Amino acid sequence: MAHLISPSMLSADFCNLAKDIEMINESQADWFHIDVMDGVFVPNISFGQPVIKHIKKLAKKPLDVHLMIVEPDKFFEDYKNCGADIITVHYEACTHLHRSLSRIKQLGMKAGVVLNPHTPVCVLEDIIDMCDLVLLMSVNPGFGGQSFIENTYNKIKDLKELINRKNPSCLIEIDGGVNTANHKALVEAGADVLVAGSAVFASENPIETIKKLKTI
């Protein structure tokens, strides 16, 4: 499978979201990455459901919703109603991860688990069979524009081994500090989905940058 690109709307122009959504529609990007932050799980607040509903009205590609919030289970149905196609929840925020993933799937969405940079892949041993995807944070969650953490490559290797052994259809998504200088190495290491925020939106020609991120 060719790798997928999921531009992060956190770095879009909030004064002109429609223009950036159209840009992604026209580009080679595959998903819209939607970062939801609550100011509790992460030290930042982003945007909530009214904004996502409006993105959904214009978006012609799936919404990949990354929940950086405590007690995410309270809101799965709301995010479904806003148009989420994929929901990823943090391992660190879910006490009953099995129940959380079951609920997301029951609502008809794809379900994934996110690991913070300090959380080892081995914690997924008994839940990987339920994951449509695993998102590895390659920065500490909370902000766009941070530098990529190199240890992520070791984690991709561990995750690939686990996936091959227990759930070969599970996708590996990488989020944080992804750019046109490291995207090839990440795909070669085993990444299936690359999230890119500042690399896309701070570039002079976002459509061209997305094309570069798609090319290996």
Beta strands in the chain (DSSP E): 4-7, 32-37, 63-68, 86-90, 110-115, 133-137, 171-175, 193-196
- Tell me how far, at minimum, the Cβ of 3 lies from ligand DX5, in Å: 15
- Cβ-based nearer residue to ligand DX5, 45 or 123: 45
Q: Which one of 4, 5, 11, 83 is in contact with ligand DX5 (CB under 6 A)?
A: 11
CA 96 to the chain's CA centroid = 21
**Tokens representing 110?**
């794809």
Decide if 35 is catalytic. Answer: yes
Note whether 132 binds Zn ion by CB under 5 A.
Answer: no
- Rule CB under 5 A: which of 63-102 touch Zn ion? 66
Decide if 13 is catalytic. Answer: no
**d(C-alpha 163, C-alpha 109), whole Å:** 20
**Region binding ligand DX5 by CB under 6 A among candidate stretches 7-15, 151-159, 164-172, 181-189:** 7-15
- Cβ-based nearer residue to Zn ion, 35 or 192: 35
Which residue's entry shows tokens 């290996």? 216
Note whether 72 binds ligand DX5 by CB under 6 A.
Answer: no
**Tokens representing 38?**
């609550």
**The residue count for the chain:** 216
**d(C-alpha 64, C-alpha 23), whole Å:** 17
- Tell me how far, at minimum, the Cβ of 166 lies from ligand DX5, in Å: 26
Note whether 178 binds ligand DX5 by CB under 6 A.
Answer: yes
- Cβ-based nearer residue to ligand DX5, 170 or 178: 178
Question: Considering CB distances under 5 to 8 angstroms, the limit depending on partner class, which of ligand DX5, Zn ion, none binds residue 72?
Answer: none
Site string for ligand DX5, 106-145 (x = CB under 6 A): ---------------------------------x-xx-xx
First to last CA, the chain: 13
Note whether 33 binds ligand DX5 by CB under 6 A.
Answer: yes
Question: How crowded is the C-beta side of 127, counted as CA atoms within 13 Å?
Answer: 24
Note whether 175 binds Zn ion by CB under 5 A.
Answer: yes
Phi and psi dihedrals of 62, rounded to 5?
A: -60, 145
**Residues lying near Zn ion in the complex (CB under 5 A):** 35, 66, 175
